[in-house]
Every structure is written in C-alpha cells, then in structure tokens.
Amino acid sequence: MDNSRREFIKTSAMASVATVAAGGSSAVAEKLKEAPADSSVQWTKSVCRFCGTGCGVMIGHNGNQIVALRGDPGHPTTKGLVCAKSLFLPKIVHSKDRLKVPMLRKDGKFVPISWDDAMELMADKFAKAIKKHGPDSVAYYGSGQAMSEESYLCNRLFKGGIGTNNVEGNPRLCMASAVGGYVSTFGKDEPMGCYDDIWAANTIFLVGSNTAECHPVIFDQILAAKQAKRSLNIMVLDPRKSPVVSAARVHLNPIPGYDLAVLHSMAHCIIRDGRHDEEFIGKNCQFKIVKDGKPINVGLDGYIKFLEDFTPERAEMVSGVPAEKIEEAAKLFTYGPTMSIWTMGLNQRTRGVWANNLMHNLHLITGNIGKPGATPFSMTGQPNACGGVRDTGSLCHILPYGRLVKKEDHRKQMEKLWGSKPGIIKSKPGLHTVAMFRALGEDKIKAMVMLTTNPGQSMPNLHPVRDAIGKPRKDKPFIVVLDSYPTRTTEIADLVLPAAMWSEKTGVFGMSERRYQIHPQVKKAPGMARSDFDIMLEFAGRLEDKGAVKKGYIKGKFKTTDDVWDEMRLASRDTPYDFMGITRERLYKERGLRWPCPTEDHPGTARRFVKGDDPTLDSGKYADHTLAKGDVKFYAAPNQRAVVWLRPALGPAEPTDKEYPFVLSTGRVLEHWHTGTMTMKAEELRRAYPHCFIEMNPKDAREMNVRSGDMIKITSRRGEARIRARVVDMPRPGMVFVPWHWEDKDSLINFVCTDAFDPGSKQPEFKICAVKLEKI
C-alpha cells in the first residue's frame, strides 16, 4: 500500500472516531438505540447489489443492523439463488472502514469538514468554472451502480440545467458496444428476450462470457436446464478455458481478437447448407455494408458473396479455430431455438460493435429471434448499467429512453419535460469517458464529480488517468468523489463525500432482462454519510442559488426518489421503453417488472418486437394491427427491418509482435467484483483469493522456466505490473489472463492495459493488448 493510500485510510478512520466521540453514531451505537424491544429479525424484499443478473434477495435486519441475507424464493427468474458475494453483503455494509465524514484535501492531507462547508465549496468551484470557462468546463462521471433516480437526476442537472453533455459513466467501459450493436441492428437498445429463454432453448451459445464466475446464478440455471433437457447443446467461444467450458459440447478458442472471422464463417456454413430461414429474412431483414462512410444496401446475394471469403478453412488460418469445429458450431446453432449470451469478451474490444452485430446476424439469418428460447442476449456486468445509465440516457450522446442529443425533437421533448431553458441541451455529444479523462489531464475540465465508481483503479492506461485526477499542479481541476469506502480514487480526490450504501437508501435497479426492481432502505447510513441522491439534490439547489442553473429547475421540485421516479415514468411514456405502469406501489408489491409496461394492469413484457407480447405493437406510433400473434416486427429499425451487417474481420488495435509477444486479457473471479472495494471487506471472500495472479499456459511456462508462485513482470507500452504466476491450462498458448480486483500498486493490471477504443461505441479494449513477460 503506497503512502497516499495509507494516509487517506488513516485520516478517514480518525475522522470517524471523532464523529462518534462528538455525539455521532456508529453501527454499534445505532443498534443499541434503535433495536426493537423484542429484537426480532425482520425480512424485507430487495435486490442484490452486485452484477447485472438482478437476483432477488431477502434482507434480514434487526434495528439498524443487517444480520443476514438469503435468496428470495419468490423471485420469478432467480428463484432464491444467490452467489457467494451476495451472501456477504451484511458484512460489507457494516465494514469498519466505511467513509463517515466529508473530507477535504489541504496541503496534501485530508481533513474532516462539515457538510455545509463541503457542499458550499463544491457548488462554488463548479459555479465559478461555469461562469468563467463555460458549461463544458465541468463534467459528471457516474456509474452502473448508482440508483436509477440518482443517474437520472444528475443527467437532468448537467444536460438540461448546466447545459453540458459532459455526462459519462463506467457503463461506457462495459456495455457501450452492446448498446451500439443493438441500436445499429434493431434501432433500439437493450435485449429483446429474457431469462425464461434459457429454459426454452435447445442450444445456448456462450461467447466471451465466463458466466460461471461473472453471472453464476445464470450459469446455474443453464446447468439446471441441461439437466432437465439432456439434448440441450452448450457451445462456447472464448480463447480461455473458463469454467463454462466444462459444460460445453463445442469449444471454439480463437486467437484473441480474431473471432469475427469465426462468426462470419458460421454464417457462411449456415447459408451454404441451406439452414437459413429465407421466409424470416424476406420479411424482416436488410443487408448493409459501409462504403466511403455510408451504409449501402447489398441484399442477401451480396451477403452470400461477402461470406465466400470466410470458408471454415480460411477462418481457421485467421483465427486458429479448427475448421471442423466451426462446421459443428454452425450446425448446432441451427438446432434452435438458440439463445446466445455474451459479455465483456465481445464488448471490451476495438471491434466490439461489429462483434455484437455478427452475433445478431446469426440469429437473424436463422430466424432464431422473437420466440421462446431464441434470442441474442447481452448480459450486464453491473446491477444498474441497463436501467440506471443506458435507459436514463446518462452518457454523453444520449437522452432518456432511447432519445439522442443530436435529434432536435428529442432535445425539445426533454427540455419541455424538465422545464429547461429552450435550446440549452447541445446537439453535439459531450466527451466520452476516455476523452473526458484526457481533457481532465489537459486541464480543459475545471471541475468534475464522480459518483459510485473508482476510475483511479478501473480505467485503462492508468498512469495518465491518475495524474489527471490527482497530480498537483497550478490551477488543478477540482475533483469531488462520492463513495461509501476508501478507494484508489478517493485517495487522490480533492473533496470526498461519504455516501450511503445499498440498503441505506431507496431506489431502483434495472437488470439485464429489462426488469426494474426496487431496493428499499432498511437501515441508516453510518456517521454523517448521506445518499448520493440527497447530496446531488442539494448540490443542484446551491448551483441555482449561485446563478449557474435556472432558478427552480430542480430545487423544490423533488424531495425523494419517489418524486423523480414519477417524472422518469413520464419521460418513458409513448416510447418503446414505456413503463408508466411500473408505479412505486407495484415495485414494492411485485418482484420487479419488465418494460415496456405501459399501464398499471400490464404484466410486463417478456419479448420485444413480438405481436401479442410487446405492447408497442398494439398502440401508438408503432402499432400494427395487420400482424398475427407471434409475428415479429423490428419497428425501430430503418424501414422496420433489422440490419444484417457485412463487417470487416479486422483484428485488435495492438497485435503481438517480437517485442511484445503475449496477449494480455483481464477479467473477474467468482469471489470478487470489480475493484474489490466491497468484496475485499468480507474476510471469507478475501481469503478465497487474497492475491492477484497471472494465468499462463503450461507450454509458455515451460519455455520460460516458470512455475506456479514465481513472480512475473508484465510490461506493455504503457506500464507494468508484478504478479505471481499460476500455471494452468486455461488461456491458450501465447495468452495470459489477469483478474483486476486487487488495489496494491504491483497488482494494478490496468496500468498495463490499452486505452484504444471502439470508434463507434468508444469502449476501450480491456480484453486485448500486447505484453512481454519476465520472470523476476
């Protein structure tokens, strides 16, 4: 642990002790004060804090203490299952190193300050920057872990109040390519299927997804479906033999970054063998290729000709996947209904949008879409990246519920609903995440607030990012961080505001299958911590008082997250997201609801674009009464036909060479999550994986004379890390794998990763960069 990190934690702990001594509360003191007379444990329905699966949980609480957590057996999709991480949430919430008082950096050290002083300073810094340098001199960086109401409020404040589109969040790092894929193929974001499809599928295709460790409850359901239906085929496309391979009939292991050729080759085989669905294609598809920057229609014949370059034999030469395996996978894919599931292995790529397009291509040409068990499904890594950021429009180029900043009518719609000054929302997108931190390092951004995320550890190419946030310099930008725990970002911030944790505030999470679920407050936040919502609400009011935001824009309009939720429902009305029927009362009563859900008596939508299921086809702009029940119509796509894209099979941004001969890929392990900020607080989880490791293929290890436990120096063109080897037959030869949860300086693998990004989605290529290895 370096000195700045140690100093921050020490100051935070001392400030917390001072707060209790001065009459503040601690977890123990609150338990003594507030425990009910009979000390009975109450159980409250909620949703898990971790990944995008959205597991239903029951929280056991006694007074102000969470004493237990279990799966909710009444949950319609996760059915009482939870993973190890979820079970330890009570310990995580009650961690001793929670942030409890506002802290300001003075002369290089943190000192506690009052909330009034903290909020006044924050508002003053932002207001002065806006007045002197304009609205684009400030920025907001949010999270797929914030509540939907928090993200919506911040998006509303910055775009419609301050007048800047510099609104970003960490979903840019994990889901932006999935968004780009859905929008460019179908016209609207988000999966059209649901978890029920797992049980109806005859084939499940796992692509770039270590479902067993990253979404274990989903993998458990896949295994249960396999046990119930022995004929279920499971296929895996991944250069690493993650645990999901043990269940697979076919494993395709391409050279990292060269899997687009495999997906094209599968399409080639399907059409060559006449296994495509010509009727479905004729009714629902169009074929396009980009030439000179413009999409050109080529028709099915043009697609077939394009695929001639992707015979299995040629694809094998490019990808390293044996031709016979490609043939087998193509055949199994047509044994539908087929469900494909993917995550970061496709998304965190410089060709991420294209890879997503090619997954959709396979479903479209086979008609494996819009039926039980037939769907292309992108899983989400965070609990609220979908509902909280993608849906609320909290990225630099979008507005709530499918709207775009570049469309004038969309801007006017939101300005009218928000009560903004006409024309305040700019037509030009703001800075995307990588560009935002580069601008911060160039001092073009003068003030920035970060909420519920840890970019000082999670961003790629970390050295310039950490310098941008924390390096002392003249006229350094003012950085405010809201968090519940000390992190590698809070340690280099200027102002740290202690935030309430999950279970200490009430709000909505929206998970991968479009299900919105409420997590209620069951305890008070420790010390002086406040919810991110309350902090940003007060911040908005103070900006109004200083003239940086229109008077009455937010101040006085909202008091609670309930108030914001009602406006969010109005924002969704008459859009394909319409959830006017998902009232607060229904969220408390039911185990979540899947949008669209336009009326209070609507049960929610299992499958979009399907007549008789998707209410969008029954009324409003996209209504079509000529369709029969079960017919598919891609109403948001150009000419209401989904696009089959002819994408070049290009490789990664940084291929290997003589100097950097290995490919590095990063990911997760079962027991930890993201930067370990939460999971490392549970001793049992920490013991399971106390240290970082680098997986090496036995063939590479023999050539380097490396054994498990040896220290390996990993070097790229950007930085280095020093991590102990684990020799195991999981990565393919020439590839190494490192999980990214550990915060010690030697283990921070994101110093090594490239910040090259997809030109469409602007999502960085965490999964592939070139490195050299040295045994030390």
Q: Which of 339, 359, 378 is the last residue of a domain?
A: 378
Q: Is residue 474 domain-shared with residue 410, that is, in the same domain?
A: yes
Q: Is residue 329 domain-shared with residue 436, that is, in the same domain?
A: no
Q: Which tokens is 311 given?
A: 């015979």
Q: How confident is the model at residue 77, as a pLDDT?
A: 93
Read off the CATH number of the domain in which 689 is found.
Answer: 2.40.40.20
3-state secondary structure 92-121: HHCCCCCCCCCEEEECCEEEECCHHHHHHH
Choice among 51, 119, 175, 450 that is catalytic: 175
Averaged over 182-198, what is the pLDDT?
97
**DSSP codes joined into one string, 177-221:** HHHHHHHHHHSS-S-SS-TTHHHH-SEEEEES--HHHHSHHHHHH
Angstrom distance (rounded) from CA 384 to CA 380: 8
Beta bridge partners of 737: 665, 695
Q: Sign of the CA dihedral 290, 292, 294, 300?
A: negative
From edge to edge, which strands make up the β-sheet containing 285-291? 294-297, 285-291, 642-645
Read off the CATH number of the domain in which 234 is found.
Answer: 3.40.228.10
Q: How confident is the model at residue 741, as a pLDDT?
A: 95
Angstrom distance (rounded) from CA 711 to CA 38: 55
Q: Is residue 314 domain-shared with residue 361, that is, in the same domain?
A: yes
Q: Is residue 238 domain-shared with residue 336, that is, in the same domain?
A: yes
Q: How many domains does the chain have?
A: 3
* Containing structural domain, residue 671: 662-775
Which one, of 377, 400, 397, 368, lies nearest residue 387 by Cα?
Answer: 400
Asked if residue 268 belongs to a domain, the reply is yes
Asked if residue 651 belongs to a domain, the reply is no
Q: Is residue 295 domain-shared with residue 396, that is, in the same domain?
A: no
CA dist list (Å): 682 to 179, 279, 453, 676, 690: 34, 55, 19, 10, 11
Q: How confident is the model at residue 23, as a pLDDT?
A: 34
Q: How confident is the model at residue 74, as a pLDDT?
A: 96
Which backbone phi and psi does 769 adopt, to 5 degrees? -155, 160
Burial annotation 72-100 (CB, 10 A radius, 16+ → b, else e) = beebbbbbebbbebbbbbbbbbbbeebbb
Catalytic (active site) residue 344: yes
Q: Is residue 407 domain-shared with residue 357, that is, in the same domain?
A: no
Instruction: Please count the residues of the chain.
Output: 776
Catalytic (active site) residue 382: yes
For residues 605 and 514, the answer to whether their CB atoms sit within 8 Å is: yes
Angstrom distance (rounded) from CA 319 to CA 184: 25
Choice among 221, 348, 382, 457 that is catalytic: 382
Q: Is residue 260 domain-shared with residue 288, that is, in the same domain?
A: yes
- What are the strands, taking DSSP E only, across 573-661? 593-594, 642-645
The region that residue 79 occupies, defined by phi over 0 for left and psi between -120 and 50 for alpha, beta otherwise, is left
Mean of all residue pLDDT scores within the chain = 94
Mean pLDDT is lowest, of 21-35, 236-250, 614-628, for: 21-35
Q: Is residue 346 domain-shared with residue 414, that is, in the same domain?
A: no
Q: Which tokens is 9 given?
A: 């934690």
Q: How confident is the model at residue 39, as a pLDDT?
A: 59
Choice among 45, 58, 63, 85 that is catalytic: 85
Give the model confidence (pLDDT) of 681-714 as tens digits. Answer: 999 999 999 999 999 999 999 999 999 999 999 9
Q: Is residue 351 domain-shared with residue 434, that is, in the same domain?
A: no
Averaged over 634-662, what is the pLDDT?
97
Q: Is residue 205 domain-shared with residue 115, that is, in the same domain?
A: no
Angstrom distance (rounded) from CA 499 to CA 478: 19
Q: How confident is the model at residue 696, as a pLDDT?
A: 98
Q: How confident is the model at residue 471, as a pLDDT?
A: 96
Angstrom distance (rounded) from CA 69 to CA 88: 8
Angstrom distance (rounded) from CA 175 to CA 622: 27
- What are the strands, taking DSSP E only, across 455-529? 478-483, 495-498, 507-510, 515-519
Q: Is residue 391 domain-shared with residue 470, that is, in the same domain?
A: yes
Asked if residue 90 belongs to a domain, the reply is no
Q: Which tokens is 78 given?
A: 């996760």
Give the model confidence (pLDDT) of 602-611 as tens digits. Answer: 999 999 999 9
Averaged over 147-163, what is the pLDDT?
98
Read off the CATH number of the domain in which 510 is found.
Answer: 3.40.50.740
Q: How many C-beta atoms surround the C-beta of residue 359 within 10 A? A: 24
Choice among 51, 55, 174, 678 that is catalytic: 174
Residue 678 above 80 pLDDT? yes
Q: Which of 556, 591, 625 is the last residue of a domain?
A: 556
∠ at Cα 598 (594, 604), nearest 5°?
Answer: 25
Q: How confident is the model at residue 34, as a pLDDT?
A: 34
Asked if residue 647 belongs to a domain, the reply is no
Give the model confidence (pLDDT) of 251-289 as tens digits. Answer: 999 999 999 999 999 999 999 999 999 999 999 999 999
Asked if residue 122 belongs to a domain, the reply is yes
Q: How many C-beta atoms surround the C-beta of residue 503 within 10 A? A: 24
Asked if residue 696 belongs to a domain, the reply is yes
Q: How confident is the model at residue 563, as a pLDDT?
A: 98
Which one, of 192, 207, 72, lies nearest residue 609 by Cα?
Answer: 192
For residues 719 and 660, the answer to whether their CB atoms sit within 8 Å is: no
Cβ-in-10-Å burial (0-12, 13-18, 19+) of 24 comes to middle
Averaged over 499-528, what is the pLDDT?
98
Choice among 192, 339, 344, 528 that is catalytic: 344
Q: How confident is the model at residue 9, as a pLDDT?
A: 46
Q: How many C-beta atoms surround the C-beta of residue 494 within 10 A? A: 22
Percent of the chain with pLDDT strictly greater than 70: 95
Q: Which of 378, 406, 433 is the last residue of a domain?
A: 378
Q: Which tokens is 212 given?
A: 């067993």
If pLDDT is split at 50, 70 and 90, which confidence band does 414 have? very high
Asked if residue 552 belongs to a domain, the reply is yes
Angstrom distance (rounded) from CA 88 to CA 108: 35
Amino acid identity at 628: A
Asked if residue 281 belongs to a domain, the reply is yes
Angstrom distance (rounded) from CA 565 to CA 580: 10
Which backbone phi and psi does 508 adopt, to 5 degrees? -110, 140
For residues 757 and 750, the answer to whether their CB atoms sit within 8 Å is: no
Angstrom distance (rounded) from CA 595 to CA 588: 16
Averaged over 330-346, what is the pLDDT?
97
Residue 12 above 60 pLDDT? no
Q: Is residue 203 domain-shared with residue 158, that is, in the same domain?
A: no
Averaged over 290-297, what is the pLDDT?
95
Q: How confident is the model at residue 663, as a pLDDT?
A: 98
Residue 10 above 60 pLDDT? no
What's the DSSP call for residue 247? G
